């Protein structure tokens, strides 16, 4: 069929053996509010061996704005994305993975935002289905932001609108072949070259799906030598575009926290085989000595400061013992007060952590962190940052969907003495929900909503459903057609979904 000659947006979809998982993607791309003459969809089939190639060819015959290219299998999305970019005729390019989908007005709204702001990049609100999305990124609509805004680098997926002239002028490409962090390379190169970036937060644009819900250790396995060689390429981009100083340090800390220290603690480390842990530790220690200056540790929260110390001068056995203690930490977020007045709810929450391994205990002088007996040989650490940096986010999620809203909240830390005379942290959270102005400035849709709290205590990140009463009943809020808010009884399904992370953790321990 004849292709659309000059579309506003070209949607590039790399495809490989998706089976029926591509159904939602296809449906959403053909059902856009933007007129078919204003956008094109380019499917690049990366050597699929299922029935997908014939299905895509059929779509191209039926729809003038659908194009298909078949290439030999390259093993990763970089090559098909590059092919799709070369084919794109649109003013802007959006990358969509074959098992994700977009909302009906996504293209129209993102393109309008780009035109209004004269933006080179528009990040539409991403809804994570089993995948974490930083909520501060989509707190409100933003225009003209750049790398000086820290949340911008905490989501580096390519599922955003790029001005095609930006791509062509700077020859931006995805690294090709089987590799990791290829999206970081492309997006970071674009961010360093863009004039301005806009964030569209008041409409859910992109649904980022987790299809593989495997629970085996291999679900997150990777070759650390290859992975950290790829990370060095990302850091090289940072070095190329920054001078030594605060910006470079902040960007380095982003990857040190998110891609290095996160891999030697918690479940991502604890559930590996001993051999895999040692191999990972060796690569991370080498990379840390090579690229991450010890001075960066001052910007880390307590738990990552501790992991960094063990990477630099400790042993893999100490990291293993630390990870085992981390698995015993169990968060709680309980409602102490809930006042409802029309469309406004004011809540007081207490966030605490059950800590049978005595990992989060402090002395009153300083305060200072006191290591538990299981981490013998470690000295006490200055824990002032662990207390000052504590925080909690309250998130309101659709009970029957996955869109989530960040609730305005203030947080205070209390240090509570335990029976041994040590201090343990607790957070007092005051949250306010205004149904008329919470959804990035817009009103909440009628329906039911559940709450959860994302807590940061001593640098540890915990997620817990918000409950009330001694029986820890899930808090459910109902919004009617007039915006009035009330409490509702949770359904069995809602209770299961709220507690399923804890259920999964128990099952993982049992299997181990």
pLDDT score at 507:
38
DSSP helix/strand/coil, 274: helix
Task: Decide the pairing of beta strands 161-163 and 391-398.
Answer: unpaired
Superfamily name with CATH number, domain 9-209? Spore Coat Polysaccharide Biosynthesis Protein SpsA; Chain A (3.90.550.10)
pLDDT score at 435:
92
Q: What is the mean pLDDT of each run of 10 residues along the chain (512 residues)?
A: 76 94 95 95 95 95 96 93 96 96 96 97 92 87 93 95 97 92 96 96 91 41 89 97 96 95 90 93 97 94 91 93 91 92 94 91 83 82 73 86 84 88 90 87 87 87 87 89 90 62 39 36
Which residue matches tokens 């956008």?
A: 39
> Cα dist. 372→78, 318, 356, 377, 451 in Å?
46, 12, 10, 10, 33
Annotate 266-300 with b (16+ C-beta within 10 A) or e (fewer).
beebbbbeeebbebbbebbbebbeebbeeebbebb
pLDDT score at 509:
36
- The DSSP bridge partners found for residue 269 are none
Is pTM beyond 0.85 here?
yes
Report the chain's terminal Cα–Cα distance, integer Å: 55
Q: Rounded CA gap, 14 and 445, in Å? A: 34
Burial of 210 (0-12, 13-18, 19+ CB in 10 A): exposed
Q: Rounded CA gap, 227 and 56, in Å? A: 33
pLDDT score at 505:
38
- The answer to whether the beta carbons of residues 409 and 384 sit under 8 Å apart is no
Tokens of 92: 């802007």
Q: Rounded CA gap, 237 and 252, in Å? A: 11
- The answer to whether the beta carbons of residues 487 and 340 sit under 8 Å apart is yes
Question: Angle 345-347-349 (CA atoms, 0-180°, nearest 5)?
Answer: 160
For 344, residues 6+ apart whose C-beta sits below 8 A from its C-beta are 432, 433, 434, 435, 485
- The answer to whether the beta carbons of residues 413 and 407 sit under 8 Å apart is no
pLDDT score at 495:
64
Q: Rounded CA gap, 205 and 185, in Å? A: 23
Q: Rounded CA gap, 69 and 44, in Å? A: 5
- The answer to whether the beta carbons of residues 458 and 388 sit under 8 Å apart is no
pLDDT score at 273:
92
- The answer to whether the beta carbons of residues 360 and 427 sit under 8 Å apart is no
* Residue-range domain boundaries for the chain: 9-209, 217-326, 332-511
DSSP state of 258: I
Q: Rounded CA gap, 287 and 117, in Å? A: 40
Cis geometry, peptide bond prior to residue 151 (ω within 30 degrees of 0): no
Burial of 218 (0-12, 13-18, 19+ CB in 10 A): exposed
Q: Rounded CA gap, 131 and 233, in Å? A: 25
């Amino acid at each position: 069929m004849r292709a659309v000659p000059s579309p506003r947006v070209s949607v590039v979809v790399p495809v490989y053996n998706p089976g029926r998982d591509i159904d939602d993607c296809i449906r959403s791309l053909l059902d856009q509010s933007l007129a078919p003459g204003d956008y094109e969809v380019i499917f690049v089939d990366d050597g699929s061996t299922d029935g997908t190639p014939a299905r895509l060819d059929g779509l191209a015959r039926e729809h003038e704005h659908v194009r298909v290219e078949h290439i030999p299998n390259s093993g990763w999305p970089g090559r098909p994305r590059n092919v799709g970019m070369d084919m794109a005729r649109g003013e802007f390019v959006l990358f969509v993975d074959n098992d994700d989908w977009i909302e009906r007005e996504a293209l129209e709204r993102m393109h309008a935002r780009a035109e209004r702001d004269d933006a080179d990049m528009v990040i539409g609100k991403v809804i994570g289905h089993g995948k974490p999305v930083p909520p501060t990124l989509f707190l409100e609509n933003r225009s003209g932001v750049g790398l000086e805004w820290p949340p911008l680098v905490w989501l580096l997926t390519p599922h955003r609108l790029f001005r095609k002239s930006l791509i062509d002028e700077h020859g931006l490409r995805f690294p090709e072949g089987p590799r990791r962090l290829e999206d970081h390379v492309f997006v970071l190169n674009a961010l360093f070259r863009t004039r301005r970036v806009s964030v569209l937060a008041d409409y859910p644009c992109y649904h980022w799906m987790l299809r593989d819900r495997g629970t085996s250790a291999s679900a997150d396995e990777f070759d650390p030598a290859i992975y950290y060689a790829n990370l060095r390429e990302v850091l090289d981009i940072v070095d190329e575009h920054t001078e030594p100083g605060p910006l470079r340090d902040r960007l380095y800390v982003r990857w040190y926290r998110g891609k290095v220290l996160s891999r030697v603690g918690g479940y991502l480390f604890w559930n590996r085989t001993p051999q895999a842990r040692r191999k990972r530790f060796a690569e991370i220690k080498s990379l840390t000595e090579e690229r991450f200056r010890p001075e960066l540790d001052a910007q880390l929260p307590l738990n990552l400061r501790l992991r960094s110390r063990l990477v630099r001068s400790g042993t893999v056995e100490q990291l293993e013992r630390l990870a085992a203690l981390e698995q015993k930490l169990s968060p709680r977020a309980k409602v102490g007060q809930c006042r409802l007045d029309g469309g406004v709810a004011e809540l007081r929450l207490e966030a605490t952590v059950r800590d049978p391994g005595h990992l989060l205990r402090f002395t009153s002088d300083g305060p200072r962190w006191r290591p538990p007996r299981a981490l013998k040989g470690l000295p006490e650490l200055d824990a002032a940052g662990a207390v000052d940096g504590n925080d909690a986010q309250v998130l309101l999620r659709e009970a029957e969907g996955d869109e989530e809203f960040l609730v305005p909240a203030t947080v205070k830390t209390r240090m509570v003495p335990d029976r041994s005379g040590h201090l343990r942290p607790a957070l007092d959270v005051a949250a306010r929900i205004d149904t008329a102005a919470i959804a990035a400035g817009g009103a909440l849709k009628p329906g039911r909503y559940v709450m959860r709290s994302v807590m940061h205590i001593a640098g540890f990140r915990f997620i817990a459903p918000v409950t009330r009463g001694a029986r820890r009943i899930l808090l459910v809020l109902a919004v009617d057609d007039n915006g009035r808010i009330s409490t509702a009884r949770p359904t069995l399904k809602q209770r299961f979904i709220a507690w399923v992370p804890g259920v999964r953790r128990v099952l993982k321990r049992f299997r181990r």
